[in-house]
């Protein structure tokens, strides 16, 4: 198996994503606005809490967590459900199914170019700015390496989950509703909008048994943890690996089963 065919898709993706400069500019403005609001909101919350540490997190911790969660979201969200749904509705999916590559793999590699541009244009600058501004709050050491591993697994989990949800579109032909449901659940239960530390105790326990926290919470905790607790690190990475395998198998199986069902309108 040669890697060349995948890298071709990656290259095409990079070129495609560089085409939409205006979109990127608007997205950057939107994110800046969001970050300004997050900053002042949490500042007000911490000011009225009266203590520096709320639920084991300082103001700076919370802010770094949320800023990087947003950066991660922009970098990982590929609108897979959207893309699949549209392809199913228009019938374009037939052409993709005929390609000499498995559809799930094809779609992933055609997104990979965007992963790379997004990494360099949104995640990395955000990370550098945050690291520079907060000066030493993010420990820079081996945890960066573990963070990278964790992010790769998060991407795979996120993609498999999206693919699984996208497959449902084969049955329902509803895109907007399915997509919004998935997005809302993932963002809330993964701790991307509010750090998991702030959730009430019983809900926290439930969340740790669900796959969502492996997408945002896991990589961010690894990045921000100062104490090198190898026990904890192994548990986090192990859980991620577990969900990686489970979600990949599930999405693959569901797709195989559903493909027999497929009806395509024209093409």
If one asks whether residue 44 binds other proteins (CB under 8 A), the answer comes out as: yes
- For the bound state, the minimum distance from the C-beta of residue 255 to other proteins, rounded and expressed in Å, comes to 20
Q: First and final CA of the chain: distance in angstroms? A: 31
Q: For residues 1-30, which are near other proteins according to CB under 8 A?
A: 20, 22-23, 26-27, 29-30
User: Does residue 210 belong to the site contacting other proteins (CB under 8 A)?
Assistant: no
Cβ proximity to other proteins: between 101 and 185 the closer is: 185
Written in H, E and C, the secondary structure of the chain is CCCHHHHHHHHHHHHHHHHCHHHHHHHHHHHHHHHHHHHHHHHHHHHHHCCCEECCEEHHHHHHHHHHHHHHHHHHCCCHHHHHHHHHHHCCHHHHHHCCCCHHHHHHHHHHHHHHHHHHHHHHHHHHHHHHHHCCCCCCCHHHHHHHHHHHHHHHHHHHHHHHHHHHHHHHCCCHHHHHHHHHHHHHHCCCCCCHHHCCHHHHHHHHCCHHHHCCHHHHHHHHCCCCCHHHHHHHHHHHHHHHHHHHHHHHHHHHHHHCCCCCCCC
198 near other proteins, judged by CB under 8 A: yes
Binding other proteins (rule: CB under 8 A), the pick from 7, 37, 124, 253 is 37
Site string for other proteins, 164-193 (x = CB under 8 A): --------xxx-xxxxxx--xx-xx----x
| Cβ at position 145, least distance to other proteins in Å | 33
- Taking CB under 8 A as the criterion, the residue among 7, 15, 18, 41 binding other proteins is 41
Residues touching other proteins, count (CB under 8 A): 39
Per-residue binding letters, 115-154, with other proteins (x by CB under 8 A): ----------------------------------------
φ/ψ of residue 194, rounded to 5 = -130, 130
Q: Quick one: 14 or 194, whose CB is closer to other proteins? A: 194
Site string for other proteins, 51-90 (x = CB under 8 A): ---xx-----------------------------------
Answer for the pair 251, 167: CB distance below 8 angstroms, yes or no: yes
The residue ranges that bind other proteins (CB under 8 A) are: 20, 22-23, 26-27, 29-30, 33-34, 36-37, 40-41, 43-45, 47-49, 54-55, 172-174, 176-181, 184-185, 187-188, 193-194, 198-200
């Amino acid at each position: 198996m040669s890697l060349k065919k995948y890298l071709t898709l990656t290259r095409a993706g990079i070129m495609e994503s560089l085409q939409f400069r205006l979109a990127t500019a608007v997205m950057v403005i939107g994110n800046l606005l969001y970050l300004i609001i997050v900053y002042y909101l949490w500042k007000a919350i911490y000011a009225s809490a009266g203590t520096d540490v709320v639920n084991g997190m300082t103001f700076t911790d919370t802010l770094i967590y949320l800023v990087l969660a947003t950066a991660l979201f922009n970098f990982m969200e590929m609108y897979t459900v959207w893309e699949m749904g549209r392809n199913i509705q228009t019938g374009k999916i037939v052409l993709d199914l005929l390609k000499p590559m498995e559809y799930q793999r094809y779609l992933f590699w055609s997104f990979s170019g965007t992963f790379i541009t997004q990494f360099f244009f949104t995640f990395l600058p955000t990370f550098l700015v945050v690291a520079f501004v907060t000066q030493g709050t993010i420990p820079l050491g081996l945890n960066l390496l573990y963070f990278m591993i964790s992010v790769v697994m998060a991407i795979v989990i996120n993609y498999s989950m999206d693919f699984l949800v996208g497959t449902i579109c084969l049955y329902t032909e509803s895109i907007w509703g399915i997509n919004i449901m998935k997005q809302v659940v993932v963002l809330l239960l993964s701790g991307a909008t509010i750090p998991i530390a702030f959730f009430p105790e019983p809900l926290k326990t439930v969340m740790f048994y669900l796959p969502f926290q492996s997408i945002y919470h896991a990589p961010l905790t690894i990045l921000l943890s100062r104490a090198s607790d190898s026990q904890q690190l192994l548990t986090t990475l192990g859980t991620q690996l577990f969900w990686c395998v489970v979600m990949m198998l599930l999405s693959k199986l569901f797709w195989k089963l559903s493909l027999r069902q497929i009806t395509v309108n024209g093409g």
